[in-house]
Each structure stands twice: as C-alpha cells, then as structure tokens.
Structure 1
Amino acid sequence: MTVSASTSNDYVKALQQASNPSASAPNKQMGQADFLRLLTTQLQNQDPNKPVDPKDFVTNLTQMSQLQSTNNLNTSMQSMVTGFQGLQTLQAAGIIGKSVQANGQDVTFTQGQDSQFRLSPQAGQNLTDVKVVISNDGGVVKNISVGDLSGDKTLNWNGTDDSGTTLGDGTYKLTAYGTDSNGDIKQINTVVGTKVNSVAIANDGTMKLTLATGEQVSMDAVREISQ
C-alpha cells in the first residue's frame, strides 16, 4: 500500500489531536453573554400554554448575576496579586548591591583573604562526623573535618587544597553533611556572605535573588542584610 505525503500529514495531525484532547475540545467556560443568550432563547421558545415560572426566571437572573460577580471578583483578585508582586519587587530592589548572609552553596575565594562561611543545621539537630567538601569545576579540592555539630558554626577557608597548595581566585561550591542519631546522613545548610546583584520574579510568583557568585536563591534564604 502506498501512503501519500498528504495522508501521512493527516495521520500525524490525528495523532497529535488524540494525544492532546484539549486542542480540539470546545471551550467549556460559559460567559455572561452565553448565559444571557441561552436565557433569551428559552423565553422565546417557551410553550405559551406553559410559560416559564416567574420563580425560575428570577433564579436564572440570580445565577447570571452571581456569574458576573464571580468573574469580577476573579479579575479584582488577579489585579491585587499583580500589584502585590510589583510591590514586592520594588521592596526587594532596595537590597540590590547590599551585602547579605544567605543560604547558598557558592563561596568566593580571593588570594590573601580567607573565605568565611557558616554551617547551620536544623534546630535541635545534633550531628556527628560532620564534613565540608569544597569543589570547583574540576572536582573536589578540599575536605574539612568538623567533628560534632549541634548549632551554627563559622568556618574559615584559606583557599588551599588537600595538598596545601593555594588555589586561584574564583567561586567554589560547598557541600556539608553529618550523621544524625539514627545513623542517617543529613545535609547541612551553608550560609555565605555575598552581595545581591539583581532581583526577579520567577514563573511561580516567588522572588528570586541573583547573588554576586552567580547563584540564584529565594528571598527567604536571606539571613542578614548589611550595607
């Protein structure tokens, strides 16, 4: 059997419509104009001997009014959400260029200056055999043994690798973990000091900050703001 190009195209289109029913499905949302048209048609075609009950007519009008009120409320709520997001953006813009302490995994090292970061386990979490792994694009460069950890702890890194060689300037990634009382491995939040470069709203409406390290974090990741 020979299949022509047009037949093949029709077959593909049919498959696409079958896999995406919404593409060919009618719009199921009825607006105020549709409701009013339906009500008018009902009145025009009613049986003169059995006219529409006035109570039913009033009920239909009430439903139409409720539909319009709901649509107006949805529009108003959307406007409020948009306005609130705009206000959040303006407020967050005030921290652009400021120094912050934020939950993040990227830390910057400059030769001659120690890099400082903080380990911040969950409240009430007591961990043992805590370790911090520092890496770059080439892999792991430094392993730091911390021991036990029951609260926040500040650490300094002088930029040397495991062999004692001083590394170059750049951004390095932190990974901290420890063992809890059940013997399970738990990751530990690392808090780094950096600056805020920009603020943006993500697709889900949440606020995102781009740090000087290039890392993006949510607004609630910020622990401290300073000049």
Structure 2
Amino acid sequence: MSTIPSSTDFVESMQNKSTSASQFAPQEQMGQQDFLMLLSTQMMNQDPTKPMDPSSFVTDLTQMSQLEATQQLNKSVTSMTAGFQNMQVMQAASLVGRAVVAEGDAFNHSDEYESHFRLDTDEPLSDVKIVISNEDGVVREMEAMGTLNTGETSVKWDGLNDDGGPAASGTYDITAYGYDEEGNIKGIKTVVSTSVYSVAINADGSLKLTLSTGEKVDMDAVREIG
C-alpha cells in the first residue's frame, strides 16, 4: 500500500536535496596537481585504438603554469606595494611638527615680523598683483615687480594693511596673478613657509599633509623640509 507524501514531507525532501548538493559543491578551483591527476587518469583509460593527442594537455598545462606564476607575481607585487606604503607613511609621520616650504594658499603671520613667500610661474608675467586676505576680506593688495620672470621669485609682506597699520597675528590667504604676453590673466602658484600638523594616506596610497594653517596638500607639494 502506497502512502501519498504530505506537503511537509515534500518541503523537507527539497531541503535535504539542497543540503546534499551544497556538501558536494566544489570548494576550490582546480589546481595544477589536480590537472596532472586528471591527465594521468585519462591517459590510463584512453582507447588504445584511438589514443588522445597529448599536445593539447601540454598546452593547457603550460597555460595553467603561467597563470599560477602570474598569480604568485601579483601577490608578491601587492605585498611589496603594501610594505612600501607602510614605510612611506612612517617616513612621512616624522614630518609632523617639522617646518616645511610647500605650495600653498595660506600662511601664518606674526605681527612682529615680516612674512616671506615665493611666487612660481612657468612663463613671464607682467602687472603682477598679490592680494593678502583673511576671513574679514582683503587686508593688503600689493603690486610686485613690473615683470615676473619664469621660475621662483621671493617676495615679502611687511605686515601692514592697506591703511598702513599693522595686521594682527593670524592665518592669512595669499592670491597672486598677472598677465601673459597676450594680455590673458594668469594665476600664479604661491610657495609658503609653514609646518606639518598631520599626515594621512589616500585611497591610492599617496600621502596628504595637513599644514599648520589647516590647508591640505599632497606630499609632492613640499619643496623644502626644515
């Protein structure tokens, strides 16, 4: 006498099949050793009247060996890159608190001293102007030399505002621009003296420095280390 299975039995049966299938699912990709074993088995069980061409197996084996060698090389390169990045971070960490000269748009000024910075341009510019400002607006607008030559040029701010009075100590922004031979306005890179507050690492492994002014610059923006 047959028994009609219930819906519960049917569900349990399907669950058992799923579990059984997962138990036999491959856990790893076939490696070179597995390939050699499979090749040996096929060679031993081949039809003597129709022997298999071993050249295809040799080709597959060579490709597999090259793939494994490439994977090992990739692992080695990844490990070396990680080690280099860690070493780079450790070296950069030693910069914290150090005085540096770097490309930047902000500098710290003390009312007891002049502030020095550099202008860097890759082409001659005329009618160069330098604007010193803070959160309250423009503090001083200066006209530099008539023509700014290619390369770096040192300039200074005497610390006075446009009214002739001393500017208070604090963080100031600097903007410089001039005109090329065709009369087009061009921004000028500014290089300031500052110090490193902290070091961070970007997702691509490059380093980012936070300066004492709060400005963030890439490591390659540093020109000198004091």
Q: Normalising to structure 1: TM-score of the pair?
A: 0.73
CA-CA distance at 1:169 after TM superposition: 2.6
Partner of 2:192 in structure 1?
Answer: 192
Q: CA deviation at 1:35?
A: 6.9
Q: Does 1:174 align with 2:170?
A: no
Q: CA deviation at 1:149?
A: 0.8
- What letter corresponds to residue 149 of structure 1 in structure 2? L
Q: Identify the range of structure 1 (90-99 vs 161-170) with the bigger mean alpha-carbon deviation.
A: 161-170
Deviation string 1:151-210 (CA, Å, 9 cap, x unpaired) is 432222233332334333321111111111222222211111111122222112112222
Aligned counterpart in structure 1 of residue 124 of structure 2, from 126, 142, 164:
126
How far apart, CA to CA, are the structure 1 residues paired with 2:211 and 2:77?
32
Gapped runs of 5+ residues in structure 1?
1-31
Identity %: 49
- Cα distance between partner residues in 2 of 1:157 and 1:190: 13
Alignment of 1:87-98 (within 5 A): 87-98=87-98
Q: Which structure: larger Rg?
A: 2
Shift in Å, 1:105: 0.8
Residues in 2 aligned to 1:47 and 1:179: alpha-carbon distance in whole angstroms: 83
Length, aligned pairs only? 192
Q: Take 1:216 and 1:104, find their aligned partners in 2: how far apart are those partners? A: 9
Distance 1:87 1:155 in 2: 37
Partner residue of 1:149? 148
Please name the residue that 1:8 is paired with. none
Residue matched to 2:210: 210
Unpaired segments ≥5 residues, structure 2: 1-27
Give the aligned CA root-mean-square deviation in angstroms: 2.8
User: The residue matched to 1:173 in structure 2 has which SS?
Assistant: strand
Distance of 1:175 and 1:191 partners within structure 2: 11
Give the SS at the match of 2:29: helix
* Residue of structure 1 equivalent to 2:29: 33
Describe the SS at the equivalent of 1:86: helix
Q: Which amino acid aligns with 2:154?
A: T
Of stretches 214-223 and 64-73 in structure 1, the one that deviates more from structure 2 is 214-223
Q: TM-score, normalised by structure 2?
A: 0.73
